[in-house]
Homo-oligomer: A and B are copies of this chain.
Amino acid sequence: MTPTYHHGDLRRAVLDRAVEVIAEEGPGQFSLRSLAADLGVSHAAPRHHFGSRQGVLTALAAEGFTLLAVALQSARESGGDFADVGVAYVGFAVAHPSHFAVMFSPTLLDHGDAGLAAAQELTFAELRGGVRALEAQGRAADPAAAVLAAWSIVHGIATLALSGSLDASALRTDAAEDLLELTRRSATLLFRPDAGRPP
């Protein structure tokens, strides 16, 4: 693992603090210098581990994709259907909003980074696995449309929730803790439409 010289584990500390700051102020606002000050190290110390500000965000995104892949895999291996995996997707987003925001902000990331590409591939492989399951069940006569619909509906819920649009739109009356339950019902609607139709 990472050595523990002067600070202990500065790399880990920087990532953890970045998560906090991004959750409060957004990915575009946090500064390496104030972050270093928070940790009690010099303003150039983080640079030694990440190279640049973009390097910090890229490392954070890579960590996020790894965590998301694990969450999705766990939901699938528990025998979950599409709704379970979808709830896991949204659950990850609300549990790790800073990671999620960075993961899908391409202008903030270094897409040539090998660690990021590897972590992304973990998540995308998991998504592709979900497609094949749908095809095998004969639920997807139009696989391309089915996978786009599946990914988009959970990704859309996650981004709308994190952007605050659901609260601002007055479309939701539920409390925040009901988001996952509402996600389940919406996801179920996609491939089991009978559940949402009048009898």
Contacts and interface: CB of A to CB of B under 8 A. Distances in A.
Contacts of A124: 168-171
Interface stretch (A1-9, A31-39, A73-81, A140-148): A140-148
A192 to B, nearest CB: 8
Report how many copies the assembly holds. Answer: 2
Contacts of A197: 139, 141
Interface in A93-144: 104-108, 120, 124, 127-128, 131, 138-142, 144
Interface residues of A, number: 60
Given A171-B131, A198-B138, A145 B105 contact: no
A40 interface: no
A40 to B, nearest CB: 26
A47 interface: no
B198 A164 contact: no
A128 B163 contact: no
Contacts of A190: 149, 153, 189-190, 193
A195 B120 CA distance: 32
A26 interface: yes
Given A168-B124, A193-B191, A26 B173 contact: no
